[in-house]
Amino acid sequence: MKATILLAEDEQAMREVLTDYFTAKSGGDFTVVPAPDGDTALHLIETRRFDLLLLDIMLPGTDGFALCRAAREQGDAPILFVTAREDEQDKLHGYGLGADDYVVKPFSLAVLYAKALALLRRARGLNAGNTLTAGTLSLDPERGIVTADGRRIDLPPKEFALLRALMERKNRVLTRDELLNLAWGWDFDGTDRVIDGHIKKLRRALGPHADCIKTVVKRGYKLEVDGDENQT
């Protein structure tokens, strides 16, 4: 799987280590574009297309949070914060801006690479499976495409993952913890309330088709489609 990755990191040694590791581990399939400061990274975000962004928060010039916001205005590429800041409020702020994952320094290179690879695969729908349907909604996991009444709906990676989880378990209530595990992974260490914000974004993206996603008070969410099979 080929990918172009933006690495916004002001420590030269860290940039070199991550660039060398990702390049070697991927067999040359990953092209890492380093940015030593936030202003350089911002220019790259505005002028180039990236498949994944690795962002430090504390950068000279434009900080990582502002970069995350700018990247979300440009597109839906997965964003992974790699930072020494471990305060929970920083993490929640990052997720609120649209980040997909958060790794605190010091970290394992192997774990960071695995997280990056998982985000890339999820964004591209490479956890292949049959096309999912729910009423007029259709989701193709392999191609990463969602349509409603035949019209394509572009979703960010997290909203795509949430919709997929709900569609795979139609008419079944999923708790916030279950949705976190399905869309973020078992090692997510933030609050389960991050789900509420992403469900709100998903409903907004689905527009008139959003009424199939039901809130079940004190329990979680479910995708409810009358007449569909696999009810539980």
Q: With residue 120 as reference, give the H or E element that holds it.
A: helix 109-123
Go through 49-76 and write b for each residue having 16 or more CB atoms within 10 A of its CB, e for each that does not.
ebbbbbbbbebeebbbbbbbebbbeeeb
Predicted model pTM: 0.57
pLDDT of residue 61: 95
Q: How many Cα atoms within 13 Å fall on the side-chain side of residue 93?
A: 12
- Residue spans in the chain of domains classed CATH 1.10.10.10: 132-223
pLDDT of residue 156: 87
Cα–Cα distance for residue pair 217/48, rounded to 1 Å: 43
Q: Which of 97, 106, 90 is nearest to 189 (CA)?
A: 90
Cα–Cα distance for residue pair 75/51, rounded to 1 Å: 10
Q: Is-contact 45 54, C-beta < 8 A?
A: no
Cα–Cα distance for residue pair 207/125, rounded to 1 Å: 22
Residue 186: phi and psi, rounded to 5, are -70, -20
pLDDT of residue 221: 94
Options 3.30.565.10, 3.40.50.11890, 3.40.50.2300, 2.40.50.140; CATH for 3-123 is 3.40.50.2300
pLDDT of residue 230: 43
Q: With residue 36 as reference, give the H or E element that holds it.
A: none
Greatest Cα pair distance, the chain, in angstroms, is 58
pLDDT of residue 60: 95
- Residue spans in the chain of domains classed CATH 3.40.50.2300: 3-123
Beta bridge partners of 147: 138, 152
Asked: is 132-223 a CATH 1.10.10.10 domain? The reply is: yes
| SS3 of residue 213 by DSSP | strand
Low-confidence residues in the chain, pLDDT < 70: 124-130, 185-192, 226-232
